[in-house]
């Protein structure tokens, strides 16, 4: 827990420093993408909409409560949309919005960079 608080503080310090240097847009992007699981959730929606269980199985190591929080955050921020089909049975799916689709080329480049420069044990 202490390690997570230290990492969070370091991200906040970096964001504040970057804003002072004039890198506000980049700092905002990494504060948003740096929130654990946000980019992974977005990446899992890049090819098609998915329901909660489908996302949970695809991501694997994420708890249901954290996934629920991330989906709520991403929906509120605008990169994904939540659609409820009244059924029966009722079903909920999540899909990228145009705003989320615009982020995919950048996420693909980050993924490519990570594949080439980071060890798998780094995450």
Hey, how many other C-beta atoms are within 10 angstroms of the C-beta on 6?
10
Phi and psi angles of residue 59, each rounded to the nearest 5 degrees, phi first: -80, -40
pLDDT at 30: 84
Residue that has been written with the tokens 């990169």 in this structure: 79
Rg (C-alpha) for the chain, rounded Å, is 16
**What's residue 23's pLDDT?**
79
Q: What is the pLDDT of residue 4?
A: 57
pLDDT at res. 26: 84
Say how far apart CA 42 and CA 106 lie, in whole Å: 12
Question: Over its length of 123 residues, how does the chain's per-residue pLDDT go in tens digits?
Answer: 566 567 666 666 666 665 566 678 888 888 888 888 999 999 999 999 999 999 999 998 899 999 999 999 999 999 999 999 987 888 999 999 999 999 999 999 999 998 998 887 655
**Residue 45 has what DSSP assignment?**
T
Report how far residue 74's alpha carbon sits from residue 42's, in angstroms, rounded to the nearest whole number.
8
Residue 44: predicted pLDDT: 95
The pLDDT value recorded for residue 28 is: 85
- pTM score: 0.75
The single-letter DSSP state of residue 50 is: B
Spatial separation of the C-alpha atoms in residues 6 and 120, rounded to whole Å: 22
Instruction: State residue 118 phi and psi, 5-degree precision.
Output: -120, 140
Alpha-carbon distance of 43 to 75, in angstroms, equals: 14
């Amino acid at each position: 827990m202490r390690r997570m608080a230290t990492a969070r503080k370091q991200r906040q310090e970096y964001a504040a420093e970057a804003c002072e240097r004039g890198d506000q847009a980049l700092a905002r992007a990494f504060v948003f993408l740096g929130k654990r699981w946000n980019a992974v959730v977005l990446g899992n929606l890049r090819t098609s909409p998915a329901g909660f269980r489908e996302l949970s199985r695809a991501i694997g190591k994420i708890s249901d409560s954290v996934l629920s929080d991330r989906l709520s955050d991403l929906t509120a921020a605008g990169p994904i949309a939540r659609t409820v089909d009244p059924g029966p049975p009722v079903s909920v799916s999540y899909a990228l919005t145009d705003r989320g689709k615009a982020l995919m080329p950048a996420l693909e480049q980050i993924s490519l960079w990570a594949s080439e420069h980071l060890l798998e044990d780094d995450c």
